[in-house]
Every structure is written in structure tokens, then in C-alpha cells.
Amino acid sequence: MSDKNYSFFGAVERSFDKAARFTKWDSGLLNHIRQCNAVLQLRFPIKRDNGEIEVIEAYRVQHSHHKTPCKGGIRFAAEVNQDEVMALAALMTYKCTIVNVPFGGGKGGIKIDPKKYSVGELERITRRYTSELIKKNFIGPGIDVPAPDYGTGEREMSWVLDTYVSMRSGELDAAGCVTGKPITQGGVRGRREATGLGVFYGTREVCNIPDIMSKLSLPLGIENKRVIVQGLGNVGYWAAHFFQLAGAKVIALAEYEGAIFDEKGLDVEAVFQHRKKSGSILNFPGAKHIKHANEALELECDILIPAALENVINEENAPRIKAKIIGEGANGPLTPEADDYFAKKGTIVIPDMYLNAGGVTVSYFEWLKNLSHVRYGRMEKRFTENVHSSILNQIEELTGKKSNAHARELIMRGPDEVDFVYSGLEETMINATHEIMTVWKENPAIPDMRTAAYVVAINKVAIIYAELGIFP
């Protein structure tokens, strides 16, 4: 497959087929798993602010119904097409399966450049898209649950929810029709940073595996590792933030306007604020400027996090990538040719299909919150604090020593919603990492971590069909 005729869904199928030969399942069942179950193409008119009528192209794909509801974001981008949405929906199936989130894969896309539309126009597009999904039965708490993706956020999800509620009046669990909502509308604390935090947790866990670090001639752990992050959007910013917080050195940050570099490490928050004020990461005080953003990918580092768009590392530039670990924060940043190159070279590629599953994992927590109609921590926070206080008082009474105020506060503090979310995400990413690594270790013929992840996903989906008696 040449990059010139690149098909994103074709690449996903190629990776699937590469992994399928390491499974025991019938070819008919495998073919069923790899196909998209339902593809909805939409064309609808909206009125622009200047009075012109524009026809909008949009999609919603449900890849798998082995579990329901389906789950996947809605992206607004000028490059949106059916092939891309199908590929992302397929990846969502495998992603959810790997991290044990009980959803089938779905994805939505609207072919617009959101920067070229006013807020009012974006609202009309979002609401019309949602109403079309409702009419076609492609949205609902038990049917298909969208979320934010590239070009969308809490604002758009609030419009989706409001439209759904207005058309499904009285539905008790209506808030569960979409995730990534503002906290005031049933969102969950920690959702905004979830994908970037998941990227950090997954990469950190790989860096804690002695066998892998020994092969790469790297010390265990994240501390002092040199990290490069491409993309300072929601995923890239939070990933970089948590890497820095854990003691790694974020030596380069790249955006579409260029890149900046500092061997001693950049202050991620300061760079973020600089870009907010100036509109660019360039001219950040003390940093070296790199004119072409993609050149930053080729700098010496331990960990490279491409967290922007698809296909940024391909057959042409893969030989110039010096990172020992590549963590896919974005969806599909490596082409299959790049994958093959790194597998032969021995570079560890941590695949997107599980590494950026933090968003859907925390979306699952939000969905559960919406269905249960109670905030995480509300029932147990004070009880936990009272129990801890009682234990601490007993210890102080027995020892005759008083704890200092800071230590007392830490010990007595009961968990808030965000603590539960972070804890649940950390547990999810650690378990998924070791499940994939176990499959890889047990079958040395598996060439890379991505193939091992696909094997895990295929087996889990196939077992469900087999247990249902749909396939022998």
C-alpha cells in the first residue's frame, strides 16, 4: 500500500489481518468482526449567517454490535470522509474491548472546518446532525453514545444533549445519550484530561517493564526520560503535563506552525499560556525554534508522542525517527509501512488502539454516572473521612504523638469524584498493558505490540459471539 493511495480503513484491516493469523477463529467469523455493521451517510442543509444555504456532509458509523451501546466521538474537520470514520469506528471496537469497556465501536464526523463557521452556525449544524441521528435511531443511551473528538468539545456535546432531550421528552436516562458534557449537565470530573492521562499511564507502565527497558537499554521508570510531544491540543497538552509532573523532561513540543526545543526541558504550562496569548508556540523565551514541525519528530529522544493527526510517520520519514518508544496519542499516526520498519528495528510502538483509550474509559465512567443518577464519591466521601479520622485519633492516643496538620489532612481526606476517575483509569491502563504484553510474550512470532493488541481484541470479540451461539 503506497502512501499516495492511502486508505485509513484499509490500514486497520491490514493490521487486523496481520493479527488474525495468530488466532484460532474461523475465517467467516473474523471477516464479520472486521467489517462495519452500519454506515450512515448524511446530507442536510443549514442556513449560514449571511443567508446562504449550505449542504453539509456528515457520517455516523457503527462498527460492531457485539456489545451495545456503540461508542465513539464526533469530529469536525474538513478532511472527514467515510473511509476515515469507518477506520476510527473499527479502532473504537478494538479499543473498548482491550480496556474492558462494554461498548461496540462507533464514530461520527462532519465535513467542515469549524474555524470557518460562527458559533451560531456550528450550533445549527450540531443540532441538525443530532436530530438526523435521532430519526435514524443512531443515538441513545442504549443505542449509540457520541463524545467529543477532533474539532469538538463540551459545548458541542451540550448541544447534542439538549437536542436529544427536546426530542425525547421524559426519557429518564437521556443524559447518557452523550459523554464529554460540561459538569453542570452530567459530565464527570477528569474527562477533559482523560485521554492525555491515559497516554501517560500506558507509557509509564511500559517503561516499568524490566524486559522491555533492558532491550531498549533504558533505565526503568519515567523520571528523566526525554519526551517529545507533537500536538498541543487536548491530548498532547495533558500528556505532556503529566509526563513533566512525573519527572520526565519534555524537550520539544510541535504544532502546525512549527516546533520549539530545549534539551533541559520545556515548562509545558508556560508554553501553553504563551500560545494562548500569542497564538503560537514559536518565540517562547529560551527555546530553540524549529521551522518545520515534523522535523521535531526526528530529534534524539527516549519517548515520542505523536498526538495530532493521522499518517504523520510514514515510510519516508520512519528511518529518521530516533525515539526508542513511540506512544500513539493520536489515532493512526503511523502508517503500516512505518509499523513494519519499527518492528524490524526494535522500536517499541505503543498502539493508539489502547494507549489513547483514556477518553472512552472515562466516558464509560460518565455514562455509568448518568445511568445511576449519583455523583461518584457522594455516598462514601464523608464516611471514609470519618473512619480515617477515628483510626488516626486512636493511633495518636496510643503513641502520644500528634500528626502535623498537612499529614492529618492527607490521611483524613476522603476521595472526590476526580480521584475515583483517575484511579479507575490508572487501573484500566495498567491491566490492559500487561494483558497485551502477556500475549506478546507467549507468542514470540507476534512482531509488535500493535499486533498483540489486535490479538487480544479479536479474541475477546470472537469469544462473545461464540458464547452467544451466533458462530460456532
pLDDT digits (tens, 9 = 90+) for 113-137: 999 999 999 999 999 999 999 999 9
Residue 217 sits in the same domain as residue 68: no
Residue at which a domain ends, from 169, 185, 201 = 185
Is 125 domain-assigned? Answer: yes
Residues near 454 by Cβ (< 8 Å), separated by ≥ 6?
A: 15, 16, 18, 19, 20, 94, 353
Q: Within this chain, do residues 289 and 201 fall inside the same structural domain, yes or no?
A: yes
The pLDDT > 70 percentage for the chain reads 98
Same domain, 283 and 331: yes
Q: Return the DSSP state at 140.
A: B
Alpha-carbon dihedral angle through residues 309, 314, 320, 321, given to the nearest 10 degrees: 50
- Answer whether residue 227 shows pLDDT above 90: yes
Number of domains observed in the structure of the chain: 2
Q: Name which of 181, 176, 165 is nearest 143 in CA terms.
A: 176
Q: Pick the residue with more confidence: 411 or 5?
A: 411
Rounded to the nearest integer, the mean pLDDT of the chain is 92
Same domain membership, residue 109 and residue 45: yes
Distance CA 118, CA 55 (A): 16
Domain contains 21: no
Residue at which a domain ends, from 134, 163, 185: 185
55 & 88 share domain:
yes
Torsional sign, CA 103, 108, 113, 118: negative
Residues 281 and 249 reside in one and the same domain: yes
> Domain for residue 441, yes or no?
yes
Domain final position from 163, 185, 207:
185
Cis amide prior to 69 (ω within 30 degrees): yes
pLDDT over threshold 70, residue 2:
no
Q: Is 61 left (phi over 0), alpha (psi -120 to 50) or beta?
A: beta
pLDDT band at 294 (very low <50, low <70, confident <90, very high): confident
Mean pLDDT, residues 349-368: 94
* Burial letters 101-132, b for 16+ CB under 10 A, else e: bebbbbbbbbbbebeebeeebbbbbbbbbbbb
pLDDT confidence bin for 76, thresholds 50/70/90: very high
**Are the beta carbons of 428 and 360 closer than 8 angstroms?**
no
Q: Which residues pair with 46 in a beta bridge?
A: 54
Query: 6: pLDDT confidence band, cut at 50, 70 and 90?
Result: low
Residues 68-84, mean pLDDT to the nearest whole number: 95
With 80 as the cut, is the pLDDT of residue 347 above it?
Answer: yes
Say yes or no: 158 and 234 in one domain.
Answer: no
The yes-or-no verdict on residue 60 having pLDDT over 80 is yes
CB 73 within 8 A of CB 410: no
Same domain, 276 and 340: yes
pLDDT of residue 431: 96
- The dihedrals phi and psi of 386, each to the nearest 5 degrees, come to -65, -40
Catalytic residue, chosen from 18, 67, 107, 369, is 107
Q: How confident is the model at residue 5 (pLDDT cuts 50, 70, 90)?
A: low
- The answer to whether residue 369 is domain-embedded is yes
Domain that holds residue 50: 38-185
pLDDT of 44: 97
CATH of the domain at 174: 3.40.50.10860
> Considering only CA atoms, which of 100, 209, 205, 98 is closest in space to residue 441?
209
pLDDT score of 1: 38
Reported as a single tens digit per residue, the pLDDT across 305-334 is 999 877 889 999 999 999 999 999 998 899
> Is residue 335 situated within a structural domain?
yes
**204 and 175 part of one domain:** no
- 107 as an active site residue: the answer is yes
255-294 in b/e burial notation, b at 16+ Cβ within 10 A? beebbbbbeebbbbeebbebbeeeeebbebeebeebeebb
Asked if residue 90 is part of any domain, the answer here is yes
Confidence of residue 3 (pLDDT cuts 50, 70, 90): very low
Between 82 and 389, name the one with better pLDDT.
82
Pick the closest to residue 455 from 36, 27, 20, 90 (CA basis): 20
Q: Are residues 300 and 331 in the same domain?
A: yes
Q: At residue 236, does pLDDT exceed 60? A: yes
Q: Is residue 87 located within the same domain as residue 219?
A: no
At 252 the pLDDT is 95
Cα separation, 20 vs 34, whole angstroms:
10
In a domain, 171, yes or no: yes
pLDDT level of residue 413 (50, 70, 90 thresholds) = confident
Report the predicted TM-score, pTM, of the whole model to 2 decimal places. 0.89
**Same domain for 309 and 452?**
yes
95: in domain? yes
CATH number at residue 221: 3.40.50.720
Sorting pLDDT into bands at 50, 70 and 90, what band is 435? very high
